[in-house]
Amino acid sequence: MVSTQEKIEKDKFFRDLYLLDSLDDDSPESEVETPIRLAAKAKRQPDQTLDAVQHERAKQITTRGKVGERRPETVPSTVSAVDHTLKKAKVPLPVDAPKKKALPEKRKRAPSTDRELRRRDSEPALTAKSAPSRARRLKTSPSIVVDSAVQTTKRSSEKRKHVTDLSNIKQRKHQLGSKKLPPVPIGEQMLKGLLFYFVPNNDICQARRFRIHKAIQYGAAWANEWCNGITHIIVCDNLDVHEASKEFACKEIPRGPTLVNVNWLIECFSRRAVCDTHWNRFQVSGSEALKETNKEQQQHQSKPLIEHEDSIDKHAVDEETPEGLEANAAECALLDAETESEDELDNAIRDVRSLGSLSIDPSFDDGAKSPGDEPPVDQEPAPFHGDGKARKENAGFMCMEKHDGGKGDNPNEQTIVKLLKMADYYSATGDQWRTRAYRQAVAALRKERRLIRTKQEALTVRGIGDRLAEKIQEIVSIGKLQRLDNAEADPRDKILRLFMGIYHVGFPTASRWIAEGHRTLEDLYQKADLNRNQRIGIEHYEDFQQRIPRAEVAQHAAIVKKALRAADTEAQMIIGGSYRRGSADCGDIDILIFKKDAGLDQIRALMMETVIPELTAQGFLKVALATTHHQDSGSKWHGASALPGSKTWRRLDLLFVPWAELGAALIYFTGNDYFNRSLRLHASRKQMRLNQHGLYADVMRGQGRERITQGRLLEGHDEKRIFEILGVTYRPPEHRNP
């Protein structure tokens, strides 16, 4: 009840916000915009523009018609004045609002300390025509239109249905290829010549279908039935040897072909190369039992980032791994090596040439898959799953568990996708806590191997409470979530997301702008008062919104590396962020800069006085967005870079790291964010604190959480030691993807 009321209140708040502010904003500017120009734009602007801009989160707007039918009521006269004004500005009011005249005070209160300006759920508050028509008008500047390939996606549930055999797959491949998948260049058909047999050998499961499809894209062939010439038997569903053998007529797994689990295929995709099949993590459980020894160690060290086999060996030599990190030295070496040396640079360049234009994994975004987020985990070889007791101990600390983002056949995939969309929606709503809850619920679901059907089943999962349980049941039973449909059809969110997509624009600013009557990026650019960063953010909206192919990240890094080495032959760097976690594409480029035994001052001086000026002069660095201005403080440089000859700016973050803090900095800069938060929360529960500088103990906190004592530094340099002290099993970067 309370919550309902609360929602109503919020709702009211929002309506009032729009209405009142629109009134307030009844300034001349509202009418400045020439209708003619706008009209013209509206015409040539497909109404997908907005979607395009938010490609990542917004998915397609499913049912507008439905929403459209509501609230045909006429707007109160008080509003019509506003409406009129806005119409002149070609900016329809995003409100229905029978009760416009509402509390201005509430406006200040509702956002509260926490800017938790969440809006009520439903409230389709739009008139039938306003939604679509507005969407059309809400066009942004032409430059913002995202290539259609990105947004076409989704809507694959139907297509999938037809993918039942090779020919159909080919057909679909063709369809998709023509529509959204840039054909994989011949040179990139890394799986060419391979013939796969899956266990089970069908594409009933969504995830498996997806992989089969993808494997074919990369040149592999799928054997519908057992035949000669099969090169690999790929076991899915985390079946063990025994279970897998049942799938064969002879009840025995044929000897010839290489036997691997599906993780191998997944990694081939993400590495864009045929991975060595001998690693333990690729073995089908049961077969690996034989060589049980050293399993743990191998698990970690056997996860080198096999980007391109040929580059690994060559560059491991040029390693400059800090001695303090022997534990994962190999890994660091490889990571570092990836950007090392001229050879590597060449490789990077070559890779970019061949891969650069290939939008990475468009299929990942395909329908049931979630945007940007990795598909559900399915099969952890981990045996400790069913009991739910082990989890109890570390309740809520996902940092305790392995999350490799395994692209598994998770029965809850459909649910996960919907919930993720909801999370995105709430994120664009400014409600960080709800967003967090949804994401954590998804993380929990990803670890479930059984399909969660009912509310009761859902409730047994930690991280899922009453409300989410109901939603899950709704999703499973009727295949959709009404709330989500409503949300996605809400134009206010579209604008909100659009604005929040600008660099250095958060929810408060975006809301304010909307309240001020701005509806397009052009509005903002011309009329809103923007700071420097925001202006740049708008100018390069599309650039910054785009994902960066892994290979290009390496190339940017290679350029930085070169300049860095030129300035100081002993300086080192590691690419962090999602790159270090093994992603096929990244949102930005994160690089840690450090040097053996060097302090922050030394690193900063080196970078700020030599490297960055050099790279800027070179034309590689385009602009600094957030970086220290004082010569004697600061630890980072945020800005943008572009490859020679490329017009696309990429967000580049450099972190200056003192030698003593390398481990903590690595953890921080590797992420992902939820992993870090989980780790930090875990630390605080153990009377410690973790930040990018180190792990501290004996933290005394006064009233509130005010910290009295700095605490004593426990560890800062050794990444693995930090895990150890925290009592968390070390997890390589690839497994930090909650």
Partner DNA sequence: GCCG
Partner DNA sequence: CAGTACG
Partner DNA sequence: CGGCCGTTACTG
Q: Give the interface segment with DNA, choosing from 148-156, 266-274, 352-360, 678-686 (CB under 7 A).
A: 678-686
Site for DNA in 548-587 (CB under 7 A): 576-578, 587
- Residue 600 beta carbon to DNA: minimum distance, rounded to whole angstroms: 9
Q: Give the interface segment with DNA, choosing from 10-18, 99-107, 625-633, 642-650 (CB under 7 A).
A: 625-633
Asked whether position 222 contacts DNA by CB under 7 A, the answer is: no
Site for DNA in 685-724 (CB under 7 A): 689-693, 704-707, 710
- Residue 93 beta carbon to DNA: minimum distance, rounded to whole angstroms: 23
* Cβ partners under 8 Å of residue 628, min gap 6: 604, 608, 634, 635, 636, 637
Q: Quick check: is 402 catalytic?
A: no
Contact predicate 419/438, CB 8 Å:
yes
- Torsion sign over Cα 323, 325, 329, 334: negative
Asked whether position 106 contacts DNA by CB under 7 A, the answer is: no
Asked whether position 463 contacts DNA by CB under 7 A, the answer is: yes
Q: Which is nearer to DNA, 132 or 463 (CB)?
A: 463
Q: Which is nearer to DNA, 78 or 627 (CB)?
A: 627
The full DSSP string for 544-579 is HHS-EEHHHHHHHHHHHHHHHHHH-TTEEEEE-HHH
Euclidean distance between CA atoms 479 and 477, whole angstroms: 6
- Residue 89 beta carbon to DNA: minimum distance, rounded to whole angstroms: 23
Q: What are the Cα distances from residue 613, in Å, to 234, 569, 592, 617, 621?
A: 51, 17, 18, 6, 9
Asked whether position 683 contacts DNA by CB under 7 A, the answer is: yes
Among 452, 355, 369, which Cα is nearest to 405's?
369
- Residue 55 beta carbon to DNA: minimum distance, rounded to whole angstroms: 17
Identified catalytic residue from 303, 418, 471, 494: 471
Asked whether position 437 contacts DNA by CB under 7 A, the answer is: yes
Contact predicate 321/333, CB 8 Å:
yes
Among 106, 526, 560, which Cα is nearest to 339's?
560
Binding DNA (rule: CB under 7 A), the pick from 67, 274, 469, 608 is 469
Q: Which two tokens stand for residue 553?
A: 């990240």
Q: Which is nearer to DNA, 34 or 633 (CB)?
A: 633
Binding DNA (rule: CB under 7 A), the pick from 370, 509, 555, 641 is 509
Q: Which is nearer to DNA, 334 or 469 (CB)?
A: 469
Q: How many CB atoms are located within 10 Å of the residue 526 CB?
A: 14
Contact predicate 615/560, CB 8 Å:
yes
Contact predicate 519/495, CB 8 Å:
yes
Q: Which is nearer to DNA, 395 or 478 (CB)?
A: 395
Asked whether position 468 contacts DNA by CB under 7 A, the answer is: yes
Asked whether position 164 contacts DNA by CB under 7 A, the answer is: no
Contact predicate 352/552, CB 8 Å:
yes
Q: Which is nearer to DNA, 278 or 707 (CB)?
A: 707
Site for DNA in 588-607 (CB under 7 A): 588, 590
Q: Which is nearer to DNA, 186 or 395 (CB)?
A: 395
- Residue 512 beta carbon to DNA: minimum distance, rounded to whole angstroms: 8
Asked whether position 455 contacts DNA by CB under 7 A, the answer is: no
- Residue 543 beta carbon to DNA: minimum distance, rounded to whole angstroms: 13
Q: Which two tokens stand for residue 608?
A: 């700020």
The full DSSP string for 343-406 is HHHHHHHHHHHHHTTS-S-GGGGSTTSPSSSPPPP---S-S--TTSSHHHHTTT-GGGS-B---
The full DSSP string for 670-717 is H--HHHHHHHHHHHHHTT-EE-SS-EEE---B-STT-B----EEEESS
Binding DNA (rule: CB under 7 A), the pick from 561, 676, 720, 721 is 676
Euclidean distance between CA atoms 300 and 306, whole angstroms: 13
Asked whether position 436 contacts DNA by CB under 7 A, the answer is: yes
- Residue 146 beta carbon to DNA: minimum distance, rounded to whole angstroms: 18
Total of chain residues touching DNA, rule CB under 7 A: 73
Site for DNA in 511-550 (CB under 7 A): 531-533, 537
Q: Which is nearer to DNA, 142 or 465 (CB)?
A: 465
Among 30, 644, 584, which Cα is nearest to 269's?
584
Binding DNA (rule: CB under 7 A), the pick from 66, 115, 527, 565 is 115
- Residue 465 beta carbon to DNA: minimum distance, rounded to whole angstroms: 3
Q: What are the Cα distances from residue 218, in Å, to 187, 192, 271, 488, 658?
A: 10, 7, 12, 34, 42
- Residue 223 beta carbon to DNA: minimum distance, rounded to whole angstroms: 39
Binding DNA (rule: CB under 7 A), the pick from 44, 251, 255, 629 is 629
Site for DNA in 321-380 (CB under 7 A): none
238-242-246-249 Cα dihedral, nearest 10 degrees? 120
- Residue 67 beta carbon to DNA: minimum distance, rounded to whole angstroms: 18
Q: Which is nearer to DNA, 156 or 692 (CB)?
A: 692
Binding DNA (rule: CB under 7 A), the pick from 462, 527, 565, 686 is 462
Contact predicate 122/486, CB 8 Å:
yes
Q: What are the Cα distances from residue 496, in Å, to 162, 499, 528?
A: 37, 5, 15
Site for DNA in 631-670 (CB under 7 A): 633-636, 638, 651, 653, 668-670
Q: Which is nearer to DNA, 149 or 623 (CB)?
A: 623
Binding DNA (rule: CB under 7 A), the pick from 465, 479, 619, 727 is 465
Contact predicate 76/101, CB 8 Å:
no
Site for DNA in 392-411 (CB under 7 A): 395-396
Strands (E), 459-583: 548-549, 571-575
Cα three-residue angle 300-302-305, rounded to 5 degrees: 100
Positions marked active-site: 471
